[in-house]
Chain A
Amino acid sequence: MKETKINLTLKVWRQESAKSKGNFEEFKVAVSPHSSILEMFDELNNRLELEGKIPIAFESDCREGICGTCGLVINGHPHGEKKKTATCQMHMRSFKEGETIYIEPFRAKAFPILRDLMVDRSGLDKIQQAGGYASFNTGSAPDANAILISKETASLALDAAECIGCGACVAACKNSSAMLFVSAKVSQFALLPQGQPERYERVQNMVIAHDESGFGSCTNTYACEAECPKGISISNIARMNRDYFVSNLKLQNV
């Protein structure tokens, strides 16, 4: 099937390492409207490799919007302008013939650039390691139906648990805060009975790890919610703040 391709100009952020200075490099591409933006990069990289040039470094894996590996800032928006989609789910048909597209990495102090569009998001893992779990050893669990959970609660917990850990909330925030990310995990456990024994310790530990990893404070601009590819609600942040407040009182034995 012969298909019409669209011609685009790309301005792609190139940067050799965390320490070096970066700049935009321009590329002209002709791409199928059915391709995803990452497939466009695959094609472009194939061309660069053939010319003996270093391909553009970017990360992706599942290409189905669930693994959280990909993350580009496209024309100023983390994961592009389209709501509730990850970068890999963005298709070239949403661009017009002759358009110029600016592509940058997620930018945040806590996400140092490794190369071009690749960043280091290990700070997010550190937050999870600080308390993002219920302390159960394998083999010690009671029968699954011994814990009754209402349909509504399970559904709310899943809404929060759907976070894919991509870091778009951080890139969207002017303070580079990861509070939407933290609150999603804190909420999941705060809602479920399994999370109750460690509820207040968890929120303390995760918030401390958040601050120590170099993420900024939340000032309620809602930018994170607007850019989140999974539509994680900022009501999770409210829930987390309430638990954090209570946990402070508990620490002081009030």
Chain B
Amino acid sequence: MMNLDSKVPKGNLSEKWTNHKFNMKLVNPANKRKYDVIVVGTGLAGAGAAATLGELGYKVKAFTYHDSSRRAHSIAAQGGINAAKDYQNDGDSVYRLFYDTIKGGDFRSREANTFRLAEVSNNIIDQCVAQGVPFAREYGGTLANRSFGGAQVSRTFYARGETGQQLLLGAYSSLNRQIKLGNVEMYHRREMLDLVIVDGKAKGITVRNLITGEVESYAAQAVVLATGGYSNVFFLSTSAMMSNATAAWRAHKKGAAFANPCFTQIHPTCLPQHGEGQSKLVLMSESLRNDGRIWVPNIVGEKRPVNEIPESDRDYYLERRYPSFGNLAPRDISSRSAKYACDEGKGVNGGRSVYLDFADAIKRIGEPAVREKYGNLFEMYENITAENPYKVPMQIYPAPHYTMGGLWVDYNLMSSIPGLFVAGEANFSDHGANRLGASALMQGLADGYFVIPYTVGNYFGSEKPEKVDVKGTEFNAAKESVNESSNKLLSINGKQTVDDIHRKLGDLLIDKVGMSRDEAGLKEVITKISDLRDEFWNDVKVVGKSEDINLNLERAGRVADFLELGELMAVDALNRDESCGAHFREEHQTSEGEAIRNDDEFAYVAAWEFEKAGKWKLHKENLEFESVELATRSYK
């Protein structure tokens, strides 16, 4: 029987974390070195956790499938990181950051977790500055801030358009220090392929060495997964090429509940697809929407070149429908509106893109001012598309970008398997049904630096540091099943490549489990994904051998998992018969097309227990709101 106790501490919202930290069990400094912790993934959450656990004196083994721990996809985050410092004296506070985040998530996250996130946000900035992260500064030497979507205060800290890179390199530097001190053992080019459970507790992992192909076992008294999100289930997304759900999914199949899988964020300002050969989509900072005007031609089948389409034949659809927020409407609304316009055939050249036009801004403030604000983004756009956005409007289209869903965790970030912790984008905990900008970096580092190190210690407080035998039955069984699955993939020898099938899955998902969903479509896609999974296991072609470098085999394993996860996303979307945040059900909207949430029936976390591929059992964790009142989001 699955236990979904959220373990939220009693007491006032603002005192929960402080009291909880005081009540936690401690491990004597001399005993800490007797405990081994495995950390999988070295992005912000993983590197932060591994470094901090090492500093505390635990013996850490950190794993990444990259050649270096600095390459995790946290590095690509552009915009910034939120914190409630109130350095701008504009009325910010921990409570306001908490409220903005929980409202932005359309009241589908756990109140206590979201509050803690806001609470530790300030420590993160202090920590990063101490590490030497070169944040943007004012002339007087203090830290600079900028504004971001979904907030009315200026609380975002940044380092040019490379905030993720600088924060990750900060965490990487702390990790390197612990590696040198011998507290962290770093394992590169290892992909986690199974979780090992001994006597009901997570005690180790099975990995494939991506250079030798050898399957290896590692044991510890606790395992932390910080393996990122699953946007690549859509094939085309802004995630890095290797980003995948395999580690989390294999843990799910071993008993960890998967929560709210249908909460996936589709970001409005990405570059459109250039053609069939596209492998990945590129995001442009949403700050562009501050001055760019979004429009489509009014006439279906418009053939005139863009500069010859008169004002009267243009539809500035966001300004028309949301006069007060206009082009700055939230991510989910902007994305959905672009989809509808293109569905109607009003996309640029009848295709799937809309204009983001700076002509008015250039007229109003002049080209130099536009260049100063957005120069690097315009350059990036021109480099990719070979079109000059100062002369011709940009073309944009939404793309899968972030996944709010993930492995279910309690307040301690422990999954439904004792000893298995989940941090960062890989867990479901803080963003509800929609994430605000500049909050992903905040959550990764909050979990890694300030939550996991405490809660893992608390877990050890009641766990004996007994050594686990990596040659034990459970480890051998896991190894065998990994080998078996590799051999199976290599022996099918069908007629479609891994990418061929992955693309098909992506097309199904973006169409039916993307920006808008409905009952008929979801039912249809569940069957289709199940059929596609059969197709994969009967007709895929994977070349090479397993005892070797084999990038084809790596991708095959990941896509096999996506084919199961994709179905669960649809199952979850079908179950959630309401519209909230990024999850928009066509059946639940006002006559003006606004989402209708159903708090009476759906104010819960949907946590799915794996029974077999295509069959899950639903568990509900009711969301209780003690301090905030549930309100309807309005951006009119």
Contacts and interface: CB of A to CB of B under 8 A. Distances in A.
> Are A and B interaction partners?
yes
Interface string A116-155: 0010111011001110111111111111110111110011
B143 A144 contact: yes
B71 A42 contact: no
10 contacts: A39-B278, A55-B552, A61-B241, A64-B76, A67-B73, A69-B66, A128-B173, A129-B180, A139-B123, A141-B129
B132 A192 contact: yes
Contact of B137 (A38, A150, A189): A150
B160 interface: yes
Contact of B76 (A62, A115, A128): A62
A144 B136 contact: no
Interface residues of A, number: 78
- Specify which of B140, B169, B493, B552 lies most central, judged by the most chain A CB atoms within 10 Å of its CB: B169
B75 A62 contact: yes
A148 B140 contact: yes
B277 A39 contact: yes
A87 interface: no
B67 A128 contact: no
Closest 8 pairs (CB-CB, A-B): A148-B141, A141-B130, A133-B173, A34-B274, A141-B126, A158-B134, A157-B134, A144-B129
Given A45-B552, A50-B497, 7 more contacts: A35-B275, A50-B495, A57-B551, A69-B66, A89-B383, A145-B87, A154-B136
Given A61-B73, A165-B68, A54 B543 contact: yes
Contacts of B162: 66, 158, 162
- Specify which of B162, B173, B498 lies most central, judged by the most chain A CB atoms within 10 Å of its CB: B173
Contacts, number: 218
B532 interface: no
Contacts of A249: none
Contacts of A114: 211, 549
Nearest to A143: B126
A176 interface: no
Interface in A21-76: 31-32, 34-35, 38-40, 42-43, 45-46, 48-50, 52-55, 57, 59-64, 66-69
A195 interface: yes
Given A67-B76, A115-B549, A194 B130 contact: yes
Nearest to B67: A121
A222 B231 CA distance: 41
Contacts of A188: 132, 134
Contact of B75 (A66, A93, A150, A154): A66
A102 to B, nearest CB: 21
B130 A134 contact: yes
Given A55-B551, A161-B134, A69 B71 contact: yes
Given A148-B142, A194-B132, A138 B71 contact: no
Interface in B39-75: 48, 51-52, 55, 66-71, 73, 75
B76 A66 contact: yes
A85 interface: yes
Contacts of A120: 67
A31 B277 CA distance: 8
A1 interface: yes
Interface of A: 1, 3, 31-32, 34-35, 38-40, 42-43, 45-46, 48-50, 52-55, 57, 59-64, 66-69, 85, 89, 91, 93, 114-115, 118, 120-122, 124-125, 128-130, 132-145, 147-151, 154-155, 157-158, 161-162, 164-165, 188-189, 192, 194-195
B132 A165 contact: no
Given A133-B176, A138-B127, A62 B55 contact: no
B301 interface: no
Given A38-B279, A128-B172, A194-B129, A63 B179 contact: no
B166 A161 contact: yes
Nearest to A120: B67
Contacts of A150: 137, 139, 141
Given A69-B66, A142-B126, A1 B543 contact: no
B71 A67 contact: yes
B298 interface: no
A63 B386 contact: no
Nearest to A94: B386
Given A54-B544, A132-B173, A194-B130, A67 B85 contact: no
A147 B169 CA distance: 20
B159 interface: yes
B13 interface: no
A170 to B, nearest CB: 14
B531 interface: no
Nearest to B273: A34
A129 B62 CA distance: 15
B282 interface: yes
B497 A49 contact: yes
Interface residues of B, number: 84
Contact of B173 (A64, A118, A134): A134
B73 A69 contact: no
Contact of B130 (A136, A145, A165): A136
Contacts of B166: 158, 161
Nearest to A127: B176
B70 A68 contact: yes
A186 B524 CA distance: 58
Contacts of A46: 497, 499-500
A111 to B, nearest CB: 11
Given A63-B282, A114-B549, A32 B68 contact: no
B309 interface: no
A122 B166 CA distance: 20
- Specify which of A3, A62, A130, A162 lies most central, judged by the most chain B CB atoms within 10 Å of its CB: A62
Nearest to B53: A138
Contact of B55 (A129, A138, A148, A157): A138
Contacts of B493: 52
Nearest to A189: B132
Nearest to A158: B134
B71 A68 contact: yes
B130 A140 contact: yes
A135 B173 CA distance: 9
A92 to B, nearest CB: 9
A136 B131 contact: yes
B197 to A, nearest CB: 30
A219 to B, nearest CB: 27
A105 B41 CA distance: 27
A135 B170 CA distance: 11
Contacts of B241: 60-63
Nearest to B274: A34
B449 interface: yes
A66 B162 CA distance: 8
B544 to A, nearest CB: 6
Contact of B280 (A55, A63, A85): A63
A45 B498 CA distance: 11
B453 interface: yes
Nearest to B70: A165
A134 B131 contact: yes
A246 B274 CA distance: 53
A151 B134 contact: no
Contacts of B439: none
Interface in B97-137: 123, 125-132, 134-137
B165 interface: yes
Contacts of B24: none
Contact of A1 (B48, B349, B541): B349
Contact of A151 (B139, B211, B279, B386): B139
Interface in B153-193: 159-160, 162, 164-166, 169, 172-174, 176-177, 179-180, 186, 188
Contacts of A133: 131-132, 173-174, 176-177
Nearest to B72: A67
A79 to B, nearest CB: 13
A125 B180 CA distance: 11
